[in-house]
Structure 1
Amino acid sequence: LPPRIFSFTPTNAPAATTVTITGTNLLGASAVSFGGVTASFTAPSNNATLYATVPVGVVTGPITVTTPGGTTNSTDLFYGPPIITGFNPTSGLAGTNVTITGTNFLNVAAVRFNGLNAIFYPTNIGLLGAIVPAGASTGPISIVTPGGTNFSTSNFVLNYTADLRLTISDAPDPVTVGGNVTYLVTVTNAGPFAAPNLRLTNTLPAGASLTGVGTTLLGSLSTSPSMVIVSVGSLAVGGSGTLTVTVAAPGYVTTLTDQASVRCDYSDPAPADNDVTATTIVEPVARLTISNAPPNLVRVSWPAGLTNFGLEYRASLPATNSWSNYLTTPTTIGDESVITEPHANAARYYRLRRLP
Structure 2
Amino acid sequence: MDTSPITARSLQKPYHIKADEFGRAYKDHLSDFRSWKHILHAREWLIFPRNIGPNLSIDETALSNGDLYTIVSNKDAHGGKGALVAIVSGTKVEDVVAALMRIHWYLRCKVREVTMDFSEGMHQIVLQSFPYATITLDRFHMQQLATDPMQELRLKYKKEAQKEQNEKRKLFKAQLAEKYEKSLKRRKKGKKDKRGRKPIRKNKAYVPERLSNGDTLPELLTRTRYSLMVSPEKWTGTQKERMKLLFERYPDLEKAYSLVHSLRMIFSNTRATWISGYESMQNWFDKVREFGNDSFNTAAETIKDRLDEVLNYFIHRATNASAESLNSKIKQFRAQLRGVVDIDFFLYRLSMIFG
Give me the TM-score of the superposition, normalised by structure 2: 0.20
Which has the larger helix fraction?
A: 2
Which has the larger strand fraction?
A: 1
Which structure is larger by alpha-carbon Rg, 1 or 2?
1
Structure possessing the higher relative contact order (Cα contacts under 8 Å, 6 or more residues apart)? 2
